[in-house]
Amino acid sequence: MFWVCCPCFEVELFEGFAARILAKEDAILSKLLWTMQGSGKSQGDVRGMLLDPGPFDEQLLLELAEELGCAELLREIRSEIEG
């Protein structure tokens, strides 16, 4: 499982079924890395997550994207969204 910000954890949704949860920042970073490998769907997912009103740490996301080499892609997607 890919994670940078914090480890994923499991939440039992109902008896016998648990789902893994990870930070929004980690999900965006993972999708950025997949996009760099050619996944157009992942790029659309990044757009959707950035447009989602749910909170996340934008500064942390940018810092980690810099470390992972995907900050320029993040900026490009942000620019497309902001039009």
pLDDT at residue 66, as a whole number: 96
Domain coverage including residue 46: 23-82
* pLDDT tens across the length of the chain (83 residues): 455 555 566 778 888 888 777 889 999 999 999 999 998 899 999 999 999 999 999 999 999 999 999 999 999 999 999 98
- The total domain count for the chain is 1
Flag whether 66 is in a domain. Answer: yes
Q: How many other CB atoms are there within 10 angstroms of residue 68's CB atom?
A: 16
Flag whether 77 is in a domain. Answer: yes
Question: Can you list the pairs that 55-58 forms with residues at least 24 positions away whose Cβ atoms lie under 8 Å?
Answer: 55/24, 56/23, 56/24, 56/25, 56/28, 57/5, 57/25
